[in-house]
Amino acid sequence: MARYLDVHPVNPQKRTIDQVVALIRDGGLIAYPTDSCYALGCALGNKEGLDRIRQIRHLDDKHHFTLMCRDFAQLGQFAQVDNAVFRAVKAATPGSYTFILPATREVPRRLLHPKKKTVGARIPQHPVALAILAELGEPLLSSTLLLPDQAEPLVQGWEIKELLDHQVDAVLDSGDCGTEPTTVVDFSDGEPEIVRVGAGDPARFA
């Protein structure tokens, strides 16, 4: 049964964040709010957590998982960013964008796109997500909480608890969060390609 944790949306309680991070480090899978709807998240090296996300969302091996990063410096440890891409990505972060980028050697092989050797990366704006990342000290392996039989991502903590009670270890509820997935921009070939139009304005990459 998943733990249900009320978290303040602006000033997340340190004690609660510490509990969540301890759970993540112990191999847990969480459902947490971001500035663009809820996401599933686990530790970077958590193979079982990765498999559980695949199972919940019915994902194949070509799905780009996202590294939720605390800041641009952390993103740069896990994704290769040349000067032109750096300027474009830096101007759009933090925000509701996910960038597909060539991965560095810091990224576990099982997270990479099998052919392109790329990974998704993003820097959120939500205080709860940022508090978790600050305490964790590494990116959170994440995926939008979009269930295979639903057209829209889940945005209500109580509903997630009801639907995934035995599939995740904790649900964090901080009230309203984003209701639309991120805009996905693929920079794997150096030039921006809009893969999905979402919460972030795609015009700056058109």
Sheet bearing 118-122, strands edge to edge: 3-6, 170-173, 30-34, 37-43, 140-144, 66-68, 118-122, 97-102, 183-186, 193-196
Question: In terms of residue numbers, what domain contains 142?
Answer: 3-205
Token pair of 108 as six digits: 């576990």
- pTM, entire model: 0.94
Task: Please tell me the total count of domains within the chain.
Answer: 1
Handedness of CA 126, 129, 132, 135 (dihedral sign): negative
**Pairing outcome for strands 30-34 and 37-43:** antiparallel
Give yes or no for a contact between 187 and 119, defined as CB atoms under 8 angstroms apart.
no
Q: CATH no. for residue 16?
A: 3.90.870.10
Quote the distance between the C-alpha of residue 95 and its chain's center: 12
What is the Cα–Cα distance from 10 to 57, expressed in whole angstroms?
29
User: How many CB atoms are closer than 10 A to CB 52?
Assistant: 18
Peptide bond into 181 cis (omega under 30): no
- In the chain, which residue ranges form alpha helices assigned H by DSSP? 14-25, 47-57, 72-78, 83-91, 127-136, 157-164
Digit-by-digit pLDDT tens for the chain (206 residues) are 999 999 999 999 999 999 999 999 999 999 999 999 999 999 999 999 999 999 999 998 788 899 999 999 999 999 999 988 989 999 999 999 999 999 999 999 888 888 889 999 999 999 999 999 999 999 999 999 999 988 888 889 999 999 999 999 999 999 988 889 999 999 998 899 999 999 999 999 98
The pLDDT, as a whole number, for residue 91 is 93
